[in-house]
Amino acid sequence: MAKDIDWDARYAADPALWGEQPNQFVRARVADAEPGRAVDLACGNGRNAVWLARRGWHVEAVDISSVAIEQAQQRSERAGVHVDWEVGDVLAWTPAEPLDLVLIVYLHMEMPELTGVIARAATWLRPGGRLLYVGHSRTNLTRGVGGPSNPEVLAEIADLAGAAEGLRVLALQHLLRETEAGTAVDILLEVTTWDGPEPTGNPDPGHLKPPAP
Q: What angle do CA 128, 132, 134 make, to 5 degrees?
A: 170
Burial of 157 (0-12, 13-18, 19+ CB in 10 A): middle
Domain that holds residue 60: 22-192
Is residue 106 within 8 Å of residue 26, measured between CB atoms?
A: no
For residue 28, being part of any structural domain is answered with yes
Across the chain, mean pLDDT equals: 90
pLDDT for 110 equals: 95
Query: What is the number of structural domains in the chain?
Result: 1
pLDDT in tens, 161-191: 999 999 999 999 999 999 999 999 999 999 9
For residue 204, being part of any structural domain is answered with no
For residue 158, being part of any structural domain is answered with yes
For residue 116, being part of any structural domain is answered with yes
For residue 6, being part of any structural domain is answered with no
Is residue 145 within 8 Å of residue 180, measured between CB atoms?
A: no
Q: Does residue 7 carry a pLDDT above 90? A: no
Separation between Cα atoms, residue 43 and residue 87, nearest integer Å:
10
Q: Does residue 131 carry a pLDDT above 80? A: yes
Which CATH number goes with the domain that contains 74? 3.40.50.150
CA dihedral (110, 112, 118, 121) in degrees, to 10, reads: -110
For residue 89, being part of any structural domain is answered with yes
